[in-house]
Structure formats: C-alpha cells, structure tokens
Structure 1
Amino acid sequence: MGKTKGKGHPKAKGGGPRAPAARITPQQLYEQAQLALQYDDFDSARTALRKAVKLDPKNIECVDALGALLAEVGPEEEAVEVLKQAVSLNPDVGYEKYLYLGQLLEVPEDALAATRKGVQVLQAQHAAAQATSSDEAPVLSRALSGALCSLSEMLIAGAQERAVSAAAERGCDTAAIEAASKEAVASVAAEAEHLLSLASTADPDSPEPGQALAALRYQQGRATDALEALRRSMSLWYTPTNKDEDGEEGEGGMAAAKGGEDEAMEDAEEDSEDDSEEEEEDGPSYEFRIESAKLLLELEDTTATAIDVLEGLIEEDDRVPDAWHLLALAYYSGHQYAEAAEVLAKGQALLAKLGAGPEDEITQEFADLESAIKEAITVTGASAAQ
C-alpha cells in the first residue's frame, strides 16, 4: 500500500521554496505618480501617493506631493490634513504647502497666517536663489510676486469681512456698513501697499501688483489713481485690437460675438486645456483679464477698452458665461443697446447649453440685464419717435 501525501503541504514548484515578492517602495510609488500626472491621470497619481505616504508617513517628498495634488483635485478635507502633516514634518522648507493652506483653511485668520508663513519661507528661498544666481531665481521671483499680491488681497478682504460682519450685528444700515468697510480698508492700506510694492520689485514684468493696487485705490475712493494704476498694469499685456480702414475691428473684436450661435455652442463642448496652458505662458490668465474688464467698466468714462478686452476673451474662449454677461453690460453701459441685446442672447443660449437653471445666480443676472436693455430700447425708441 502506497504512502499517502499529507494534506496542506503542496509540493514546491521549481525544486525549492518560492522567493518572497519584492515590496514596492515609496520612491517607486512616487515615480509612478509622476508618470501618471504626465498623462493627467489624477486618480492613479493620487492612489499611488496615498500608498507611498501610508508606507512611509515621514517621507516629506511624498507627503508634499500628495498634499499639493489633493489641494488641486480634492478632496479638500484630506488635502488640509495632509498639508498640515507636511508642515509638521518640515516647517521651514517648502512654501507651496502654506499657500495651499491659505486657500483651503476655512477660518480667515488661519488662512491669512498660513499665507504669511508661506511668503516668509518663499522670501528666504528666493533670497538664497538670488545669492547663488540659481536658475530657479526667475521662477521664484514670479511666485513671490504672486504670493505677495495674494497676501495683500487677503489682508484687505479679511479686514472688510470683519468690519461688515460687526456692523451688521449692530444693526447698522447700508450706509453705515459701507462706511465700516471703507474704514477697514484704510486700517490695512499701508501694509497692503507695502506688500504690493515688494511684489512689483520681485517681478517688474508682472501686471498683477498694478491691478491689485488699482483695486485698492478704487476701494479707497481714489478713482483717478486707480485708473492710472490699472493702465500701467495693462500696458504690460494689453494691445488694442487693430482696425481696418473703415474702422471695423479685424480678426479680434466682434468676430466671435457676431458668429453663429450653433458654432459657438459647439465650441462649448470642446476641451479647453491646451488653450489654457498657452494662455498662462503668453500672458495673464483669463480670470485676471475678466477682473481687468470689471475695473475698466467702473473706472473709465468710455467702454471701448473694456469691450475690446472682453471681445478678445470671447474669441479666445466663448464658453465662459461671465464674459458674455460683462460684454453685454459694457455695450449697455455705452448705450449700444442693440449690440447689448445680441450679445446677451448668445450668452443666454450658452447658459441653456450648460444647463443653468432659473434659480442660479448667473441666470438671474442675465435676466436683470435683459430687463434693463429692453427698457432702454423702449425709452430710446419712444424718444426717437417724438
């Protein structure tokens, strides 16, 4: 009778014991994440970095990378947790984590403190790079300028928010609340101006400090100074649209606004990432130029420059409802009511395409402007008939 094999003891293959599987390292996971990010595969990158941090919670490179990625793609609560972890691991190196916390922390005082710390760390890093003539110095100059502008704007916004909230709690009327807001701006104006001066020194080619100063001057009620600062800022990036011999705008201008609605709506479905990347390299962001147009409408006696900026934005990307609304408002403010109505209709068609509902704030803003335009057209028509 043959000998039976014991259960639970399978014979090893290959004539010997199997070698243990090699464990993946945090560095390998980090490299996997970087490769995934090259293809905009954020989910895979996030998963890899989470695994890396779990394997080595004190690996500052992985913790920093995960915090930055979470700050960009979420979830925000986890981002704050990881960024705080990065701060505890290396509090005096790496300014990005502080600037991200400045954007994400809900308590204004905490957000302001984080941004201040980020600026301090960045200033030290920038000074060191300049001292050694490092290739990083120009990049850090731009980053420092932007961070100083952000800190200035946060300082002003925080002071205003506290003052307005306190006045509202006291039951003040609208005029008193506005006065409290202006007093709050005055209380931090000197520091804000100093920060903007440092920002301009760090990167003289950046239009951001000048536009931030224009906004501050406008809040101070100094409209002439505000317009002067805005024009200096715009001189760094804005070129008026060329006109032909008949005074009509060339390839810029109303080319997009006059185009067919179907074509504009089809464009709304296209991917805009490549355009956005080129825009960042060539000049200020779309959002920055939107703010420029808003200031122009507040400060200039004519609407020509604001219209030119907004038409250029729409030609660049006609999928932004705010740009259509502002362009219609610019035409309306310039008493060009037919043009305003035409532009507004195209913007409303875009809203419908994007699925905006009647309860959305942007939809109501379009409706309010539509009523104002219709009333203006009616009054103008009645006056012409007399």
Structure 2
Amino acid sequence: MGETTATFRQVRDDPRRLRAVTLFLAVACGLAVANLYYSQPILSQLAAAFGTSQGETALVVTVTQIGYALGLLLIVPLGDLVANRRLAVCLVSGAAIALVAAGVAPSLSVFMVAALVVGTTSTVAQVLVPFAAHLAPPGREGAVVGRVMSGLLLGILLARTTSSLVAAALSWRWVYGLSAALMIVVVLTAMKVLPERRPAAGPNYPALIASLLDLLRHEPVLRRRAIYQTLMFGAFSAFWTSIAYELHERHHLSQVAIGLFALVGAGGAAAAPLAGRLGDQGRTRVATGAGLLLATGSMLLALVADRSVIALAVAGLLLDFGVQTTMILGQREIYTTRPESRARMNAVYLASMFAGGAIGSALAGAIYQAHGWSGVAIFAALLPLVAFAHWLWPRAAREAPVGPTSQVAE
C-alpha cells in the first residue's frame, strides 16, 4: 500500500495527530475547492467589467469545471503513483499563480484561461481526500472522509458568500488576490504537517491513465455512483449558476444580500459526517435514495415558490444536503471497493460529477435566458429524478453493499 514511512504510521495510530492532520486536510480542501465557485455570485460584475453578456460570462463557470474535470482525469490518478505531499504542494502552488493571473486579467478571454488552470490545479482537494482515507483506521474510513469532506463542502458553500462580500467591499479582483495568498499559506503548512505517503511501485503514467477506463468497465459500483453524482451535480450547478441572476433581477437583491443568501447552503455541510456514519453502518442504499428524492423535491419547491426568497433559500439548503449526502456515500462506497486504486476511482467518480456540473451550468445559462427561472428549476428537478429512477432499477439494488464493510457484489 505504500504506507512505509514511520511518520505516516505515527499519524494514523495517534488519535491526537490524526485529528490535527484531518483538520488541516479539511481546511486545505475547503480553501482549494472554493476557487471553483468564487465566480458564481459575481458574474454580473464580471460581465460589467469585461463588457460581455450574461450568457458569455456564465461560461466562466463551465470553463472552470472543465478544467477541474481534466485535472481529475489527468492529475489526480498520480496519487496512486507519486508522493502525495509533493503532488499536493505542486498543485496548490500552481493554483496560487493562476489565481493571481485571474485577478489581473484585462479581458474575459484571459480570465477564462486563468479559470481553466485554476480549475485544473484545484483538484488538489481530490488528492487529499483519498490521502485521508489511507490515514483512517480500518472501519473508520467513512467517518474520517466525512470530516474532511465537511471542510471541502463548507468551502464550496461559503465561497459564494465570501466572494460576494469581498467584491462588494473591495472589488472582484481582490477575491482572487486574497485566495492566492491563502494558497501560499496552505503550501507552507502542508510542507510542515503532512506526512509523506509514497505509493507502492505501480504502472507508468500512460498505463495509469489507461487503467481509468478499465476501472469504469469492470467496477459496476463506480459506474452507478458516477451516474448518480453526474446528474446530482448537474442540478446543483444549474441552481447555483442561475440563482444570482434571479435574486438580482427579479428580487433586486444587492451583491451583499446575494452573498448572505449563499450562506444558507452551508447548513448542508452537516450531511457529510452524517452520511459517512450511515455508510459505515451499512445504510448506503436507503440514504442514497433519500438524497436523490430530497434534491428533486427541493427543485420543485424552487419552482412553485419562486416568489419567496426564503423558499428559494430553503430549496438551496435541501439541494445541498441531498447532493452532499449522495457524494459522501458514493466516495465511501468506491473507496472500500478497491482501496489500492482509491485515487483513480476517485478521479473517475469526480470527473464524471464535474462534467455533469459543467454541462448543467452551461445549459442553465441558456435555459435562464430563454425560459427564465421556471425553466431552470424544471431542468434541475428532472436530473435527480432520472438518478432516482436508476436507483429503483433492480440491478442497482443487487449491486448495493449490504453491510458496513462488505464489498460490492458484481
């Protein structure tokens, strides 16, 4: 397994050290993944700054997620091949440089190139999550990963609020400059506190990337969970890409108010440790179905109660709770299926998820311009409903794990 250094074993076997490293991993993941979402609530400011349309500016979200998907497929698998700490430090350093470029971009095209690199390098979060799973004592993978994912998900949810408040108080350019500074702090801290984990000798890089397709072909649990999360994250991205326009144009909320609205989603982070514990208890299938239905119901609420900002906030909270529940359960399930390939399994799973997010955000921009909020809400409700229909499929039930530590039956 490559866990040969004394430092790694000491951290894993010492509860106090494990808690400290887990906390750092949670914070680092949150700060890294937040880079993907800073643009969402300030799209109107970006459009004004660059003199572009809302539809064109909304593509920033899509480009960032495409970069993330590329990083997941081409960089994250290296976690099964090279020293994890070194890989993490390189990625975070690259993110800092790209964030500076975004902050000083003179045009939308330059900003999009920087956003593509920001998305690619922010995949460091998905190098660190499998790292946390390796650190976890046997039987506690769900709990440890859940804690780290709580930080990651808080980063996703608080990024919008932070971006809105900083942009309102200073400028949208400061959003990216401050994030670059935080990335430098993460680099320095990682070099000091992260234990080194050197994976066992394995295939070379081309063979490693080629093995991604083999995993997808031979692991039914990976295919199933990828389908669920692709559709769920498509709905998530459609909602959060369009809601800033809706709140600004229909409800006349200020940039600060839009940022405060985004805070409601932070409550959904509570789903991460809860979902991890449910997975450890063998309740993955039932909790997954509940998460899919919750996401569908939340978007129906956003459709029928769109005149109420409070109702839209509740819908956002419920959607985030459902999306995070299925994501954590999916990660736990694939991590326990083939532990020696966690980085690659995670790469395929999350690349599918962010591809769904990129498509969802791109379509949402066009749907909002053509059909308004009701069109976006219907679109976002249909995606998890399709996933739930797949969940009901008898074969999906046969493939689901039946106990806390069982392997997936094929």
What is the TM-score when the length of structure 1 is the normalising length? 0.28
The structure that is helix-richer by fraction is 2
Larger Rg: 1
